[in-house]
Amino acid sequence: MFVSMRASLIAGSALAVALGTPLLRAQSASDFFTLLSGEQRAVAVTRVDRQNLFYKTPSGELPQPLRSLKTWGLVERPTVKPALKAVADGQYAQAVPALKQIVDAFLDSPAAGLQWVADSSVALVRAYSELKQYGEADAVAKKFMASLPNEINRVKPYLAIALAGQGKFDDAITLLQDVVKTSDKKLAVTPTESRSFGQAYLALGDCYAGKGDGEKAIEAYLTTAVLYFHDESLARQAQAKADEWKKKVRPAAEKPAAL
């Protein structure tokens, strides 16, 4: 049943998740669920697992079995966009608490398919990897891959960063091959795919740089800078690293010709 659950965007930045029934599209400014009887309730959902939805009541948190619901929905949490921006700006430690709260509450559940939950999860893996908290990055990535097997390429670049950070360059390169193969088959990419592919080639460049293979590192870095430039920060990093390695492995070409 878990695999068959699908999410659909509805107005008011909410998403309804149906359990074996057609998805409902309705206005909603808050979390809600609809019982099998048809009664709909506006609630404040605190977390979701694979069996229950939990919501606040005056007497405390109560579970509502998912099998008792016709449909249900969650609004995007207000902490998501600031946390994602913090990660994009390189403020990883600042972003972790808010992202972890989202991941702990919703990733291991049908709610994982909501865009803001998936984006928060990927951002948390990235933050942990950049902070060199590799065990935490690996744990979140494994949960993400179990919940969203069709989107595993989104977290592989950050797992590769973690492996590279431990000196496991060949393992990281092997992990990135599926992402690279997928990118080669794409004639057009979405901004999300562009960021994922750009991060993958940036990580690939770091791996080759770690192995001392400057030419392959330059090629990988320039792939991000030239082809997958939607994330300007990644593109700038990649170009700077490519330029640095050009000075090391192509010193004669980088010097101006003598007059």
The pTM assigned to this predicted structure is 0.79
What 8-state DSSP symbol labels residue 86? Answer: H
DSSP, residue by residue, 172-234:
HHHHHHHHHHHHHT-SS--HHHHHHHHHHHHHHHHHHHHHT-HHHHHHHHHHHHHH--SSHHH
pLDDT in tens, 163-200: 888 899 999 999 999 888 888 888 788 888 888 899 89
Say if residue 59 is in the same domain as residue 108: no
SS3 21: coil
How many domains does one find in the chain? 2
Read off the tokens for 188.
């057009």
Q: What is the pLDDT of residue 252?
A: 55
130 domain-assigned = yes
63: which strand partners?
54
| 245 pLDDT higher than 80 | yes
Say if residue 58 is in the same domain as residue 101: no
Domain, as residue range, for 210 = 80-250
Say if residue 96 is in the same domain as residue 224: yes
